[in-house]
Amino acid sequence: MDYESVVEFMRLNNGLPWTIPITLAVKEGESEKYEIGKEIALFSEAGEPLAVLSLEENSNRIKEKEAGRFTRRKETAHPGVAAIMAQGEVLSRGKVSVVNRVKYNDFLDYRKRSSRASGNL
């Protein structure tokens, strides 16, 4: 499974470098609401439909190992560790079909700004 391969080796199963897993984590009690083989709509915080997940499986997340691997810290006082630990324990996986692409401006605070983009060379 790609998640374990990325956490362990920072590569997808096919060998492609992939340094951070992209996951859909849900709380343990919530995962039972979704049936394997069904489709789940994914929405932005503003309620805009973004994609559809064709649910193939749910599995347990290895949060402590994931947090330690990507933040190089184990203390929950670290914001990255705290963020991972606050997320769900179950990973829902499957094919994702995009409905509406996220608009570039939606995530400006999270994008790396290059000197070229700001006009400074």
11 DSSP β-pair partners? 17
Phi/psi at 21 (nearest 5 deg)?
Answer: -70, 140
pLDDT at position 41 over 90:
yes
Q: Mean pLDDT, the chain, as a whole number?
A: 83
43 DSSP β-pair partners? 49
Cα-to-chain-centroid distance, residue 94: 13
CB 54 within 8 A of CB 35: no
Give, in words, the CATH class of 22-107: alpha beta
For the chain, give the percent of residues with pLDDT over 90. Answer: 26
Number of C-beta neighbours around residue 63 at 10 A:
17
Query: pLDDT tens digits, residue range 59-106?
Result: 888 888 888 777 777 788 888 888 888 999 999 989 999 998 876 676
Give the predicted TM-score (pTM) of the model: 0.67
Structure tokens belonging to residue 77:
């006082």
